[in-house]
A and B are shown apart, each in its own frame.
Chain A
Amino acid sequence: MPESTDTALTQIASRTDGARIVLDRVSKVYPGQDAPAVEEFSMVAEPGELIMFVGPSGCGKTTTMKMINRIIEPSSGSITIDGRDILSLDPSELRRHIGYVIQQIGLFPHMTIAENIAVVPKLLGWSKQRTAERIDELLQTVQLDPGTFAHRYPRQLSGGQQQRVGVARALAANPPVMLMDEPFGATDPITREKLQAEFLRLQESIGKTIIFVTHDFDEAIKLGDRIAVLSERSQIEQFDTPAAILAEPANAYVRSFIGHGAALKRLALIPVETAVLGAASAAVDHHRIATDDSLRDALDLLIVTGAPAIGVVDRSGSLVGSLTVERISTALGADATALAATRSDEGRPA
């Protein structure tokens, strides 16, 4: 029934601001292997949500992700995007509506940057002008000057620039869903941090439903709306917001994954403005922190300077209060209490 496939695809494609993805008891068993690579994986990703799959290598997180665009076919279970069963759609046509970014980037070396980005629009039969406009727009979105980069070849770009093109290429046809497999894994720490920050800003404006695979828990905390901590056979050990996982790891496995310094990682998620500030006059030195910095930055400044208190300034630069180690510690406690409260309010199993 090609017609129903078409309508299903049109419907998925029209949800450019993110679609709901539902995986229901999805399993993958490779022939000749006793244990399944993925066993009975169930999860719901809400529209616009950025979900991180974290787990050690070989736990099946990538396999799980690749079943969503059917690079790997599930052995059993069902996957729906926006209510449409994707296993009944043509895999190639389905993939044109799912952005796909991999660690190795996989740009086509014999095509220019513009041609690389134009691949999916071309497959979808876009007009030349519409494609050209989109290429310009996307290169600007990923902060590459179209005039400089559009007609270069991939090997003339640095790793970080190539990965930006990889992201732009995946976004080309404005797909509602993006799958990202350790996209920043191969870049150096500085480039990586920059790409992460840019990516967060980008996601704020595009609001795709994103499944993002990483083995780096810190990256998961930094980027994710929710994190699924996975173990062997892609079993979900915990699926919750970064703050909740840090505050209340479900079990020893999750705790081991968080590693040391959970409190510090939580502080990094709490902005200075949520803390109860002390009197502005307490900040005797000239050390200042902004309200939209994190409490971790504040603590860092306190330790580095050795000052008993540091000043807090708002966006306009005027002093609004001060912070001490005690106040940061209180804020962390309050954060945990608030988290527990929302948890019991919701009253639904995590």
Chain B
Amino acid sequence: MTVSTATTAISTASAARRTDRRIRIARRAATPVIVVLSLGGLLLWLSTLELDSIEQRTLNWDYIALRTGEHLNLTIVASILVAVLAIPTGILLSRTRSRAARGFVLGLANVGQATPAVGVVILLAIIWQTGYTTALVALVIYSFLPVLRNTMIGLEQIDPFVKESALGMGMTSGQVLRRIELPLAVPVILAGLRTSLVFCVGVATIATFINAGGLGDMIVNGLKLQRFPVLVTGAVLVASIALLIDWVASVVEDVLRPKGV
């Protein structure tokens, strides 16, 4: 599954190039429109309901803003950590000739991703502690692989003759990395980051089980207390955030993709 994630990332990157501009603009507009419509629909539906005291405690602006803030915080901080850790690891791994090192790190990252997210979160909480930091670490472990793998693939798919001519013209290997390899690998690396961001939004709902907040609180409360509006609000909000973050990432991808590629 992980390999296919990376390859899909590559093929979407190259497919996007070919797509007609107009279709792209239409598709670009689609996500925000869907998000706005569903949030508007949710608001409208909630305004028709008579909320009891339990529901009122959850379905108010302050509470929702707090939980959404926690959720976004977890997602974004985890993604930044993943970027800071996984991209350099990927660069180092793609430059090492040692198969053992590559196998070991990739294997480790694979374990992180293959273990069910709930498992990672709860196990960490049991052996370590509950709360924000644990949730953050679990998220990083879980979403490390897409970025690592895409960084490696992004660097390895570069035409070896482009690298050879860069060296042959007198660039040092650091200059080749900074001026040639990384810019050319940007689309694939960003595709990995985008995947891991969306993973994070989903998995961050589990943080509630170890007392780390987030929109998971609303969903779990809604389920436990059998308050349907609370459950639906939490779910719709998580889905909207995931869609919006994916959308922002796709815009960033388009902006940062090197011209001429």
Contacts and interface: CB of A to CB of B under 8 A. Distances in A.
Interface of A: 69, 71, 92-97, 100, 102, 104-112, 119-120, 123, 153-156, 169-170, 179
Contact of B159 (A96, A106, A119, A123): A106
A93 B170 contact: yes
B178 to A, nearest CB: 12
Interface stretch (B5-13, B40-48, B119-127, B161-169): B161-169
A102 B159 CA distance: 13
Contact of A102 (B161, B171, B258, B260): B161
A329 B172 CA distance: 56
Given A71-B164, A71-B168, A102-B164, 14 more contacts: A92-B167, A93-B170, A94-B170, A95-B169, A95-B170, A100-B168, A100-B169, A108-B166, A110-B259, A110-B261, A120-B169, A123-B175, A156-B260, A169-B169
A108 B175 CA distance: 13
Secondary structure at chain B's binding surface: helix, strand, loop or mixed? helix
A153 B184 CA distance: 14
A123 B161 contact: no
Given A104-B161, A106-B161, A106-B162, A112 B260 contact: yes
A155 B165 contact: no
B64 interface: no
7 contacts: A71-B168, A92-B171, A104-B159, A105-B165, A108-B180, A109-B261, A123-B171
Given A105-B161, A106-B159, A109-B261, A96 B169 contact: yes
Given A123-B171, A155-B260, A169-B169, A109 B184 contact: yes
A154 B166 contact: no
Interface in B183-221: 183-184
Contacts of A97: 170
A102 B165 contact: yes
Contact of B169 (A109, A123, A154): A123
Contacts of A106: 159, 161-166, 168
Interface in B110-133: none
A111 B260 contact: yes
Contact of A96 (B162, B170, B259): B170
B167 A71 contact: yes
Contact of A92 (B164, B165, B170, B260): B170
Contacts of A169: 169
Contacts of A105: 161, 165
B225 to A, nearest CB: 55
Contacts of B261: 109-110, 155
Nearest to A111: B260
Contacts of A92: 167, 170-172
Contact of B170 (A102, A123, A156, A179): A123
B184 A110 contact: yes
A109 B159 CA distance: 10
A110 B183 contact: yes
Contacts of A120: 169-170
A170 B168 CA distance: 10
B137 to A, nearest CB: 36
Interface string B146-177: 00000000000001011111111111100100
A110 B161 contact: no
A170 B165 CA distance: 10
A174 to B, nearest CB: 14
Which of A107, A119, A120, A153 has the most chain B CB atoms closer than 10 A to its own CB? A119
B62 to A, nearest CB: 48
B253 to A, nearest CB: 15
B162 A109 contact: yes
A95 B168 contact: yes
B167 to A, nearest CB: 6
A179 B168 CA distance: 10
B183 A69 contact: no
